[in-house]
Copies of this chain bind each other. A is one copy, B any other.
Amino acid sequence: MTILGLKEAEVAQLVRAVTPDQPGIDLQEIEIRFARAAWGGIVEPGDSAAGRVIEAIGPVRALVALHEKWPVDRLVEECAGGVAPGEASSGIERWQPRLHLDASVLALRQATRYGVRFLVPGDPLWPEGVDDLQDHKPIGLWVRGTDDACLSLSRSIALVGARAATGYGEHITMEASAGLVDRGYAIVSGAAYGIDGMAHRAALASHGQTIAFLAGGVDRFYPSGHDALLNRIVERGAVISELPCGASPTRWRFLQRNRLIAASSLATIVLEAGWRSGSLNTAGHAGDLGRPLGAVPGPVTSAASAGCHKLIREFNAICVTNADEMAELAPLPAAPASGAPEGDSGGLDHTAEARVREALSTHAPRSAAELAARAGLSVADVTAQLGGMELEGTVRERNRGWLAVAPEKSASSGEPEEEI
């Protein structure tokens, strides 16, 4: 650490203070954590070149490279094909001017003042979902909140939407958030005015877990009008950002923050969104990640629902109208009952089959590709599951795709009630 010109003892003390539950970490681990914290202040979120360099030579050596001003050739060579020369060159141009290790130490000190903790990939509290972002995954995450809230991300659904929400939008968000909490989900959102704020509030009111991802440092809440709300989330949930303390939110950071909302949760649901709402960006990230995407319809006469309808029409979002339908997008494994589950062939296979089953309809034939999109599985996995299910007689293939076979036929099925 001395080569970076910092006081080892102070840095070690600060890193230990923000590292959860690992009092005995050694100097090498401290270097790694400090380097990741420093990188988080050097790059803008989602910088894939930085992600690849850090992946190739580790965060410490990557920081040394920057500190020692390695020529591009040397960096490319050490990365052994992990990064292209042009990319490394433009990366260094971006990163070099922002290498201020003193600022990284200040950010760490500020973090200790606010009880902020710093998570790195592989930590027990690290949300595994964000690893699906690959080169774009966060280098580290700053957290204010409880361990339980961090762990609850593995069973979370993101509820997002417009700041300019209507009474209708707020009402359905409240119902959705409370309903999903009742069904065992944690609620992820972005702490903005409108839909986001209502999603967090209703989760808290229902004594559920809720997690807010911010576009700036977790020491400075944005929007400031949500100070009280964010303080309550810190107490009973978690406020998370990949930006170090002191960082301001920017337009780019909001867009990248949205990828964390989509990646850290099992499914994303847009409750109300105008034609160009930022929440459509979150929906786009969910789609890119293959995460189930839902949208709540509203009056076609309401501009605040136009984005939701666009998602349903053009982005294959599933139309969801209540908490049950939202939960169907990301079924939780059944709570472990007292006694071993009967006839369960176990683990992953069972889950994949359950997801294919959820994606099937008894009425509308669906292709393997469509089922894959709905189930968030690969076409190959879906095809494999369908083969087994066809043998069991629980699905059948029709001209236009696959149908679930209803367990028993209701005599009055499909009969309308209204006419005559």
Interface residues of A (CB under 8 A from B): 162-164, 168, 171-172, 192, 249-251, 254-255, 274, 276-281, 284, 287, 296-301, 305-306, 309, 312-316, 318-322, 325, 361, 363-365, 367-370, 372-373, 379, 399-401, 414-420
Contact = CB atoms under 8 A, between A and B. Distances in A.
Given A314-B361, A314-B363, 14 more contacts: A163-B419, A164-B418, A168-B301, A171-B301, A251-B420, A254-B420, A278-B418, A280-B416, A281-B416, A297-B312, A300-B322, A315-B361, A369-B370, A369-B401
A396 to B, nearest CB: 15
A300 B276 contact: no
A250 to B, nearest CB: 7
A372 B401 CA distance: 11
Contact of A372 (B361, B369, B400): B400
Q: Is the interface of A mostly helix, strand, loop or mixed?
A: loop
B251 A363 contact: no
B276 A416 contact: yes
A416 B321 contact: no
Contacts of A367: 367-370
A168 to B, nearest CB: 6
Contacts of A315: 361, 363-364
Contacts of A419: 163, 192, 251, 254-255, 278
A316 B364 contact: yes
Contacts of A276: 415-418
